[in-house]
Amino acid sequence: MPSGKQAARSEASAPMAAGARLEAMRRRVRLSRVAVWTVIAAGPMALAVAVASTPGAVAQVPEAKPAVTRTAAVVADPGGYAQVFLGAWLRSSADDATSTQARLAQSMAPEVDLPDPAPDAQPVVQSLTAVRSVRRGGGTWSVTVAAQYADGSVRYYVVPVAADRWGASFAVTGNPGVVAGPARAGVAKSSYVVTVPDGELSSAVGQFLAAYLTGAAEVDRYLAPGVQLMAVAPAPGTTVTVQQVLAVEEDAAGEKVPADDTTVRVLAKVEARDATGRWPLAYELTLRARSGRWEVAALESGTAHAGGAR
């Protein structure tokens, strides 16, 4: 074949080959789009696979995980509800179902029978206190309520209560029952075994508590740097006398104030007096030595705390 015709065919075939390659690329793109739209309906996992298998894909798109919001269920303690019900129940009578107390008890527990006390036979209920709540299955509770009467006697009742998971609604599910009171718990041996004699430490404790309980002097002068504490108001006494000071550490029994930053824990038993009577009180304190004197670093009741200059 003449060279001129060969050159002409080569020039003609080049655009055709380029067009064929372009058409093939377009076909692959169309097929890829169809595949992607198909798997979108099939879910996120299929979409991730399709993207990874698509020609020319740069990177696999990770599956988007929806954020999970968890709301913790409120643990509803129906102690107060049981206490209110028992007060209304004890003060009501089946002979007068229209009284305020009887209506209240029946509104809280429609299926519960009212008591039928004999006239003047039972002492008047003076106060009620929920002392124990036990959670049972199915949203039910058993609440023990102590009833103190005007004659000084105490009787314990157990009240069955149902509560929803949010603590928004309650219902007394049955009549109260009279039960034995809680047993007295065992008490661990006190760690305050060191007797503190009269001296710098007992004097510092007495001066601080006198200022704290009577307001006769500024409390700040007895506090360690950074400790904040206000005197009790109104003052529970006009005079305060230290009866005994016990400590945990042996350093508290020394005659002299030890080195700076020495810390001791003490239990101070005091007697406060005012026009209303005599009041035996006790306080747990932490004291720290500084510059030859003892300063109060903490009142263990939680009202004294560090933070900020005095």
Distance from C-alpha of 231 to C-alpha of 212, rounded to nearest angstrom = 4
Mean pLDDT of 41-58: 46
| C-beta neighbour count of 3 within 10 angstroms | 7
pLDDT at 236 over 60: yes
**C-alpha to C-alpha distance for 204 and 300, rounded to whole angstroms:** 16
pLDDT, mean over the chain: 81
Confidence bin at 310 (pLDDT 50/70/90): very low
| Global pTM value | 0.62
Q: Looking at residue 216, what is its pLDDT? A: 86
What backbone phi and psi angles, to 5 degrees, belong to 207? -65, -40
Q: Which H or E run includes 140?
A: strand 140-149
Helices and strands (H, E) in the chain, number of each type: 5, 12
Q: Which of the two residues, 246 and 30, has the higher pLDDT score?
A: 246
Q: How confident is the model at residue 46 (pLDDT cuts 50, 70, 90)?
A: very low
The pLDDT tens digits of the residues spanning 157-194 come to 999 999 887 778 899 999 999 999 988 889 899 999 99
Helix locations, the chain, DSSP H: 3-40, 44-53, 79-90, 100-108, 200-214
Angle formed at CA 138 by CA 132 and CA 142, multiple of 5 degrees? 20
Q: Is a pLDDT exceeding 90 seen at residue 64?
A: no
Angle, CA 79 vertex, CA 73 and CA 80 arms, to 5°: 105
Q: Of residues 14 and 226, which shows the higher confidence score? A: 226
The answer to whether 231 and 209 are in contact (CB under 8 A) is no
pLDDT beyond 60 at 265 = yes
- 279/295 Cα distance (integer angstroms): 25
Q: What is the largest CA-CA distance in the chain?
A: 138
- Which pLDDT score, from 0 to 100, does residue 77 have? 85
Rounded percentage of the chain residues whose pLDDT exceeds 70: 72
- Report the C-alpha gap between 141 and 178 in whole angstroms: 16
Per DSSP, what are the bridge partners of residue 146?
A: 129, 156
Measured N-to-C along each axis, helices 100-108 and 79-90 cross at an angle, to the nearest 10 degrees, of 140
For residue range 271-309, what is the model confidence (pLDDT) as tens digits? 999 999 999 999 999 999 999 999 999 998 644 444 333
Q: Kindly indicate the confidence band of residue 117, based on its pLDDT and cuts at 50, 70 and 90.
A: confident
